[in-house]
Amino acid sequence: MDNTMENMVIPQHVALILDGNGRWAKKRGLPRSMGHKEGCVTVEKTVEIAARMGIKYLTVYGFSTENWKRSKEEVGALMQLFRFYMVRLLKIAKNNNVRVKMIGERNRFDKDIVEGINRLERETKDNTGLTFVIAVNYGGRDEIVRAAKKMAEEVKMNKLNPEDITENVFSGFLDTAKMPDPDLLIRTSGELRLSNYLLWQLAYTEIYVTDCLWPDFSKEELEKAIAAYNKRERRFGGVQTK
């Protein structure tokens, strides 16, 4: 680690909304798919950088439940990229002691993609470094509804008593069960919205938005976000935490 990060508190869990691939391509007169391709390269680099920095969880928004509304061509290009980068990611994960986990409703994807996701999780499950979480066909509302359905099933089968449902119990039914909530949310490309990302988990997360377009994101940009996070005073509704 270089000097700029000395004495910095490294957030345990960083969540990322990687936005701006389309704008990056448009600026260069390229098709949107080229922006996504470059964006995948940036994801790979970011995983390695985060692993080296000692971040424990990195959760990136790869494809939302609303992104199916995009053109058939764009969705098709994203699926192809997904297929290609899943194979590369397996190698990167193995080389960097990274455990990969996917959140979202994976069964809507083609069978080979679902198998690829399962394989990535299976073959990296014992790695002890960074946990890299990819949100695909993910929507915060969808996740909460699925959790509610699972709980309702358990109540129906007399495995769960409605009186015993607490925030902790509810969290355990979400895709992010057992993961700590994000400390820092980074959104690239300037939009000031959550776009249905981790609605439950971001309750007290510090938010950092940069105008940098996702394919241009770098180690320096991540360090800037962490430096800004270090200047925040986290409160969780109380008065002072430090």
Which CB, 151 or 210, lies closer to ligand IPE?
210
- Binding ligand IPE (rule: CB under 6 A), the pick from 125, 149, 193, 234 is 193
Binding flag, residue 61, ligand IPE (CB under 6 A): yes
- Binding ligand IPE (rule: CB under 6 A), the pick from 8, 10, 12, 23 is 23
Which CB, 18 or 55, lies closer to ligand IPE?
18
226 to each of 64, 115, 184, 221, how far by Cα in Å? 25, 35, 8, 9
142 is catalytic: no
8 A C-beta contact, residue 106 and residue 114: yes
Q: Which of 182, 179, 194 is nearest to 229 (CA)?
A: 182
Q: What are phi and psi of 9, to 5 degrees?
A: -80, 125
Any residues with CB less than 8 A from the CB of 104 and at least 6 apart, and which?
A: 63, 65, 135, 136, 137, 138, 139, 142, 143, 175
Q: Which of Mg ion, ligand IPE, none lies near 127, with the C-beta cut-off 5 to 8 A by kind?
A: none
Any residues with CB less than 8 A from the CB of 9 and at least 6 apart, and which?
A: 229, 230
Kind of pairing, strands 184-187 and 13-17? parallel
Task: Choose one: 11-19, 144-152, 206-214, 220-228; the region binding Mg ion (CB under 5 A).
Answer: 11-19
Binding mask 144-183 for ligand IPE (x = CB under 6 A): ----------------------------------------
**Smallest gap from residue 17 Cβ to Mg ion (A):** 9
19 is catalytic: yes
**Smallest gap from residue 19 Cβ to Mg ion (A):** 4
Contact set with Mg ion (CB under 5 A)? 19
Annotated catalytic sites, by residue? 19, 67
